[in-house]
Every structure is written in structure tokens, then in C-alpha cells.
Amino acid sequence: MIIKLASSYGFCFGVKRAIRIAEEHKGSKTYGPLIHNKDEINRLKEGFNIGLAEKFDDVNPDDSVVIRTHGIPKDELSKLKAQENTIIDATCPYVTTPQKIVEKMSNDGYSIVIFGDKNHPEIRGVVSYAKELKNAFIVNDEKELEGLPILSKVAVVAQTTRKPTDFVKVVSALILQHKEVRVFNTICNATFENQDAAAELAKDADVMIVIGGKHSSNTKQLHSICKSYCEDSYLIENEKEFESEWFKDKNLCGISAGASTPDWIVQNVIDKIEIIKQVK
């Protein structure tokens, strides 16, 4: 069995930047999990004494606080500033872009439509920058637009890890319904590249292994894409989670990884598959 890596996979620019920032600030706390990867967060805790504050009450006045890659709600950032914490902003620049767009366009009198998961930390942060929350709407697909009290002028942004084809469906529905639609493509380029590479590999693979956090939006998207081309596609967080039966009678094992997955975890998975190959 041949093991083949996707041509593009793993850590994106924003995650690499956040990890570097955290490593440079030993003894600090991240506000929320820095990235969606438990193993990497544990590495930062053990090797760099990086703590975790899940909410504002977990932050002491003398703490240095690293803002997670996904960003945080505007009011929570204001609380940290009011408490005079040392703030180190590791928010991905691709995430701060929709925050700024939402703030400006809502101040200019536009309704805001955000294509994304309302429960995702990135989206909770982005929507908080709207001037009036009653004029900001989060939708998971174009069907959820029906019946919303959207103004005639609307601005639309997307969660950075969403599929472009699904974003187009939302935009198309808005254009048919409203007089003025301002479209801001805020999907990350790294997401495109990883998704396209995973799809190409999955077309040829007998089995696909997608490595990443179970709560990672972009990793779940990768798994969904792979499964549409290769039925035997599996999402795992590390080398402890797969079964040798997955590789029985397979000729090509494809591997991809989410944007929050470090190379050392990918290598551990490859090493484990190599051992399974030898046993077989």
C-alpha cells in the first residue's frame, strides 16, 4: 500500500503565527483554546507553561492574555482592556478582516448576513462587531434566509473555513431578494488550497485519513469533501484513533490534515500506518 500526502495540508499562516506568538510569551494564558487541536495545546502547556482561560472570570488582573486565532467577542476584549491585562493578539488576520467589515458596514446602515456556524467562536466574535445585533443575521445555508427582516441594503461575509460553492448559493439568494448587496469574500485562501488538494487525492485513494481536531470547522469540511470522493474516509485527531482494518486490501492511502494540525502529529500517523503495513 502506498501512502501519499495531499499537496497542501496542515498548518495555515494564521495558526503558524499564533503558535509562534504563544511560544514567545511563556507563562501567559490563551483566552479560549488557541487553536482546535488538543494535542498541540497540551504541547504548549507542557513546554511553554501556556495556561487556558475559558472565560473572563478565569483571567486574573496580572495575567498576560493571548487572544485565540478565532478572535473573541468585542465586549470581552473591552473587559480585558478595562482590567488592564497585558493583551497579546494572536487573532488570525483573515478573521480580523470580517470583524472590520461588519463594524464598518453596520455603521453605514447595512444589514449584515454572516454565512457560518453561529456556535463557532470565530462567528461569535465577528457578529459582535455589528452596531445593532437585530440587524445581523447568521445563516448556515441559503434556506435560512427565508423570512429574515433584512434591510434593502445588505452586506455579506463568510466564515473563513466555509466552502466557496456554498457561499455562492447564499449570495445568489440575497441578490435575488434585495436591492443592494455588498459581497465580501472572507474565505481563507489556505482553505481553498487544502480542500482542492484533498479532493484531488481522494479521487484516486482507496482510503483517506483526515487528521485534525473534532471541533475544527475546516477539518470537518475536509473530511466531508474527501468522503464525497472516497467512501472510506476517516477523521482522526492522532495516531491512537485509527484501526488496522481500514487499510485491508487498500492500494493507496491518502492523507490530509486540517489547518490546526501540526506536522509532528501528521508524522506520527504516517509512522503508525507504516507499522501496520509491515505487520500485514
The three-state secondary structure class of 8 is: coil
Q: How many CB atoms lie within 10 A of CB 118?
A: 14
For the CA atoms of 241, 244, 245, 247, the dihedral, rounded to the nearest 10 degrees, stands at: 110
Identified catalytic residue from 40, 76, 122, 142:
122
Checking DSSP bridges between strand 111-115 and strand 86-89, what pairing results, if any?
A: unpaired
DSSP 240-264: TS--GGGGTT-SEEEEEE-TT--HH
Q: Give the span between the Cα atoms of 210 and 257, in whole angstroms.
A: 5
φ, ψ (nearest 5 deg) of residue 3? -105, 125
Phi-psi region of 212 (alpha: psi -120 to 50; beta: other; left: phi over 0): left
Q: For this structure, is 243 an active site residue?
A: no
Residue bearing cell 466557496: 164
DSSP letter at 84 equals T
The three-state secondary structure class of 114 is: strand
Show the cell assigned to 9: 495540508
Give the residue numbers marked as catalytic.
122
